[in-house]
Amino acid sequence: MQAPLDLDLGAVRAFVAITEDRYFSEAAIRLAISQQAISKRIAKLESDLGVRLFFRTRAGADLTEDGRAFLHHARSLVGLADQAVELLRSRRRPLRVDVLDTRLRTVDLLQAFHQTVEDVDIEILTSNGLRSAHDALTHGSVDAFFCRVRGTLDEELRHIPAYLEPVHLLVSRDHPLAGRQHVEMERLSGSTVWMPGNAPGSEWADFYSSLGSTFDIRIDTSGPDFGWQYFVERIGSGEHIGFGGEGLRLPWHPRTVQIPLVDPAPVYPCSLLYHRQNHHPVLTLLTRFLESGFRPFDPARQWLPAPDRAAFVVPPASENSRTANSGKRF
């Protein structure tokens, strides 16, 4: 059985253009290539097909019998290719963005972005973070991930810093620290912080493990992990203390207090991760939005694990105004 022939679509397009314009030179102008280039394309096409397609006359290029037989199919090939490209270009689908949890600040950031652009759809998905990112981005099931990036990434993946999330302390109303406007990190030395959602091997578990090692804090990841409502109830009962992001929308509980951590302020690094061959137009707008509002790491007052620091000291295009946030109840 003869192996199938892979036709060069550019050569087929050149063949159709010459049949319409009659002259190689005019067809070359239409295709924005040189006359030498179009001649080479036709020569290769004839070689691949094993037939002669044109013969030249004073009136231009005329089709041979084989050329006339091929013309209908050539037009169909070019037309089908143009239709496929147009379909993809005109196809409107939401930008698919993966977030760790819909209660995180990431969703607020996406809402703020959505308000700055017109006629844009965003679809929010959730997964297990960085561990899902490679396959999802490579296969195109997701356009971008908001996550903490660590380790060596596939060379096809790109990321930019999105934001630094201040870490807050969660305690019950009866806890000795509950009345403070902020808590210095040294005050937590020797403490045990309960974080049942810190999945082994996850990028966030690694972050809090590093935080604990640096400040002599034991991170208790024992379960059960029955969700955020259960978590704040256990904190409010005084059984545990916990950590949570500044923008984390936890269920309201009358006996749970959230307090900023300072001296230094631990910040969780969140990046936008995407595939370099993803050309969704909204993805470009989103990266510009993040770059314009990014506020870099401040080593004088903030703490990051050493591996994260280089990516988050990039000078911002502009700075977001930040409202001072004291301890809040929920």
Amino acid at 160: I
pTM of the model: 0.71
The arrangement of secondary structure in 9-90, i.e. its CATH architecture, is: Orthogonal Bundle (1.10)
- Give CA–CA dist 237/241, Å, rounded: 10
User: In CATH terms, are 9-90 and 101-329 the same topology?
Assistant: no
The Cα–Cα gap between 266 and 166 comes to 6
Q: 298 burial class (0-12, 13-18, 19+ CB within 10 angstroms)?
A: middle
In sequence order, what are the residues at sequence separation of 6 or more whose Cβ sits closer than 8 angstroms to the Cβ of residue 3? none
Q: How many Å apart are CA 187 and CA 95, to the nearest integer?
A: 44
pLDDT in tens, the chain (330 residues): 566 788 899 999 999 999 999 999 999 998 999 999 999 999 999 999 999 999 988 888 999 999 999 999 999 999 898 878 776 665 578 999 999 999 999 999 999 999 998 888 999 999 889 989 988 998 889 999 999 999 888 889 999 999 999 999 999 999 999 999 999 999 999 999 999 999 999 999 999 999 999 999 999 999 899 999 999 999 999 999 999 999 999 999 999 999 999 999 999 999 999 999 898 989 999 999 999 999 999 999 999 999 999 999 865 444 443 333 334 433
Cβ atoms of 20 and 63 closer than 8 Å: no
CA distances, 5 to each of 48, 221, 269, 326 (Å): 8, 59, 51, 70
- How many CB atoms within 10 Å of residue 164? 22
From 252, 260, 259, select the one nearest 232 (Cα to Cα).
252
Q: What is the CATH number of domain 101-329?
A: 3.40.190.290
Can you give the residue ranges of every domain in the chain? 9-90, 101-329
The residue type found at 297 is F
